[in-house]
Amino acid sequence: MTAIPLFSKSFSVINPVAPQSDAQQLQEWLNRGRNEVFTVQATLTPDLAQLLLASNEENRHIRERSGSRRNVAAYAEMMQRGEWQLNGSTIVVASNGQLNDGQHRCAACIKADVPVPVLITFGVQRETRTTLDQGAARSPGDVLKFLDPTISEVNNVSTFLQMRFALAAGRAVGSLMTPDELRDGLQLFPEYAAHIQRVRPYARRMHLSLGVIAAAHSLCAEANCAKANEFWEAVATGVGIASVNSPVARLRDLYDKNKGVRGNDLSRETQAALYVKGFNNFVRGRTGPLTFRPKGAPEPFPVAVRG
């Protein structure tokens, strides 16, 4: 008698589908974008960014580094630190396959050499690119106001926090801060209000950046509070200056020459660096010129001495 199996199954082997390459996926989206407008959430890889930039004719010049926060270097630094997040802003590709918006994000992805999450909109008319970026960009002060509505002078506070945070993190002064970093900065440097209030009269009189001078003074106060306060009183009042070669006199002279100058004034980084250098010479009892070289062959930002 032949045994009958209790269960009988038949199996078929399904070959796994190979994942699409960036080029294949992009082509699929481009084909769809010829007939409709749609948005996808995607991972922007350096390879995909290269493909998008390959169709980037007649666009504006890419800002590698500039005074604007929207530049390739700033974006790349955020991507490398793992801080890039979806915020609803999309890379835009026209129905003809041309990149309408997002060239700085693509260039930054290539520079950072890391994949980041993005939204990409396909299928809009090529002519609509003239309507992009017409609104005012949110400044760090705007973000700070969202984080803490009780702060009355958000621009001065954000400048203070940006300088302190950048130096603490070993980054270039003026580096882009994320909203999370601004929030952390409020916790790390809660003394910002006292320092801003202290330097306000002199900084305004000399047309200096209030937030920057407050940040420079706070750096010196952390190193040697008594000497920092003594130095500041001398700088602000001019009382007790020993000679024209003293660091207080040198710093006051540099700031006075800068007062009212348009188009050739001291950069914010230079204002702060000269202050810290003057303080260091004050603590060490040194005289001589005060200089700082932020460009060309730049020198590092000075560290306040403890004495």
Q: What is the pLDDT of residue 4?
A: 46
Give Rg (Cα) of the chain.
Answer: 28
Q: What is the pLDDT of residue 8?
A: 43
Q: What is the pLDDT of residue 68?
A: 45
Query: Digits of tens for pLDDT over the chain (307 positions)?
Result: 455 444 444 444 445 555 679 999 999 999 999 999 999 999 999 999 999 999 877 656 676 654 445 578 888 988 998 888 888 888 999 999 999 888 889 999 999 999 999 999 999 988 776 555 444 456 778 888 888 888 888 999 999 999 999 899 888 887 777 777 888 889 999 999 999 999 999 999 999 999 999 999 999 999 999 999 999 999 999 998 888 899 999 999 999 887 755 545 788 999 999 999 999 999 999 998 999 988 778 889 999 999 7
114-133: b or e for each residue (b if 16 or more CB lie within 10 Å)? bbbebbbbbbbeeeebeeee
Q: What is the pLDDT of residue 1?
A: 47
Q: What is the pLDDT of residue 27?
A: 93
- Residues ≥6 apart with Cβ < 8 Å to 108: 72, 73, 74, 75, 76, 78, 79
N-term to C-term CA, the chain: 103
Long-range pairs of 28-33 with CB within 8 A, sequence gap ≥ 24: 29/93, 29/120, 29/122, 30/93, 30/97, 30/122, 32/122, 32/123, 33/93, 33/94, 33/95, 33/97, 33/122, 33/123
Q: What is the pLDDT of residue 57?
A: 74
Give the span between the Cα atoms of 129 and 125, in whole angstroms: 8
- pLDDT tens digit string along 195-211? 999 999 999 999 999 99
Give the span between the Cα atoms of 99 and 242, in whole angstroms: 63
What residues are paired with 39 via a beta bridge?
Answer: 121
57-66: b or e for each residue (b if 16 or more CB lie within 10 Å)? eeeeeebeee
Predicted TM-score of the model (pTM): 0.61
Plot region of 73 (φ>0 → left; ψ -120 to 50 → alpha; else → beta):
alpha
Give the span between the Cα atoms of 226 and 255, in whole angstroms: 23
